[in-house]
Amino acid sequence: MTFLAVLAVLISYVVGAIPAAAWVARTRGVDILKVGSGNSGSTNVLRTLGKGPAILVAIFDILKGALAIWLARALGLDAPMQAACGVAAVIGHNFSPFLNFRGGKGVATTFGTICALLPVAGLGFFLMGITTVWLTRFVSAGSILGALTGAFTAYLLGAPLWLSLVVSALAALIVWQHRENIRKLHAGNERRFGEKVSGEKVS
């Protein structure tokens, strides 16, 4: 069981590390790490390449988190190890060895992980995230509030403490990954949903 658990975590990390955004962008002759925000995620793909590639990347990144959980379940691992595999996928996405340990901000992969672990918390994540983006047109604000809502929902539902802590840790990681966006929101110069960016990287 220990060998299977370690193997599952490693596989989950590698799956999470697959840089869909970077590879899709490369087919268009674009280095995603050198344009827009410099992140390998669906939001940066949307701003630089458009809706089609962004949707493809978002779906793939969501599935990375869910697949990590399903793999652990298929191997007969217990719930905490399933969560560990989901966390490994998120870490792989954020710090991919395929991109010199750079990556995205982990929102889609975290969402997929939470949906697989605790679907109602995933629903809370989605509803708050999509509502915030619709009202404010700030993807960063939607990502942060969605993740925090997912964590709050886990506690509200009376989920096991360890699971609530895992969801909270993933939400905290999303907030940390968006620290520059938080500064921009405070300064009033955060980009809104749908805004195109030039080929030059912005800070």
Which of 177, 178, 183 minimizes the C-alpha distance to 140? 178
Per-residue pLDDT, 200: 45
Name the one residue in this structure whose structure tokens are 């390998």: 40
Report, as an integer, the average pLDDT of 44-69.
Answer: 94
Per-residue pLDDT, 191: 87
Which of 127, 177, 118, 174 minimizes the C-alpha distance to 147? 174
Q: Within 13 Å, how many C-alpha atoms sit on residue 192's CB side?
A: 6
Report, as an integer, the average pLDDT of 159-178.
Answer: 97
Report, as an integer, the average pLDDT of 59-68.
Answer: 97
Write the pLDDT tens digit of every residue in 69-108. 999 999 999 999 999 999 999 999 999 999 999 999 999 9
Residue 130 confidence class, pLDDT cut points 50, 70, 90: very high
Residue 1 confidence class, pLDDT cut points 50, 70, 90: low
Query: Could you tell me the pTM of the whole model?
Result: 0.92
How far apart are alpha carbons 28 and 45 in whole angstroms? 11
Which of 85, 44, 73 minimizes the C-alpha distance to 170? 85
CA-based angle 136:41:79, to the nearest 5? Answer: 95
Per-residue pLDDT, 197: 55
Report, as an integer, the average pLDDT of 166-178.
Answer: 97
Residue 37 confidence class, pLDDT cut points 50, 70, 90: confident
